[in-house]
Amino acid sequence: MAVTINVDGRCDDDNYDDDDDDDDNYDDDDDDDDDDDDDDDDGKNKCDDDGDDEVNGEDDDDDDDDDDDDDGGQSCSDGDDDDDYDDDDDDDDDDDDDDDDDDEDGGIIFDIYLVVSENLSVLDERERGRKRERLGEREREGERKRERWREKRRERQMQRETDIRKRERESERERKREQERTKEKERENQRESMRVRERYNQGEREIERERERRREKEKERKRERERERIRERQRERKREKKIKR
């Protein structure tokens, strides 16, 4: 009986029923199987310990297999398989074939179950492997993202430190330039103060010179007035002398 097992564990056999019942997964096309199974359960005879034949639990004194067949009994050998069993039904071979088919089908179902279980296990393992791979890939991607984030953070930190050092150097240069400008202003103020003092001193000197000139002129006028008085007295004496004569 050919059965095809797909990779995903499904059975392509038409006789395979895909429901979850215990042994009802296999549905035989022969409608008489269940009835035959019931007949076998009800009609099969038991073997006692001494190996004698029983017909439905009763001993049959007749050793003839045909009589056993007529009575619906079963001839049992001493512990061997059911090869000597002969049903009195006319469909002996068919029932045996059905039983063999049932056994074969049951074995096939069990084989299918094993194959499907193995395939499902393989598929589950593959799926778990893929999930582990995806999880590992996500973890690696997350680690790469975290590494990129740390790298960017280091770059930003380095850039901030560089900017801070640059601003510090610029501030230092600006501070030095400001100090230089302050010193230059101080020197300019000193020069201006010196010029002011020089102008002041020069003005004072000029004023002093002007005063000196004025004093000199005043002295000159005084001397001129004194000379004028002297000349006036001389003229007065001359007139007096003329009058006396």
Q: Residues 153-177: pLDDT tens digits?
A: 999 999 999 999 999 999 999 999 9
User: SS3 of 26, please?
Assistant: strand
Q: What percent of the chain has pLDDT over 70?
A: 51
Q: How many residues does the chain have?
A: 245
pLDDT, tens digit, for every residue of 91-149?
A: 455 555 555 555 565 566 666 667 667 777 777 777 888 888 888 899 999 999 999 99
User: SS3 of 208, please?
Assistant: helix
Structural tokens at position 22? 């215990």
Q: Name the pairing type of β-strands 58-59 and 54-55.
A: antiparallel
* pTM for this prediction: 0.32
* pLDDT over 60 (residue 64): no
Q: In which element (H, E) is residue 233 found?
A: helix 92-244
What is the predicted pLDDT for the residue at 32? 46
The neighbour count for residue 9, using CB atoms within 10 Å, is 17
Structural tokens at position 10? 């499904």
Q: Tell me which range, 74-78, 107-111, 192-196, 237-241, is most confidently predicted by mean pLDDT.
A: 192-196
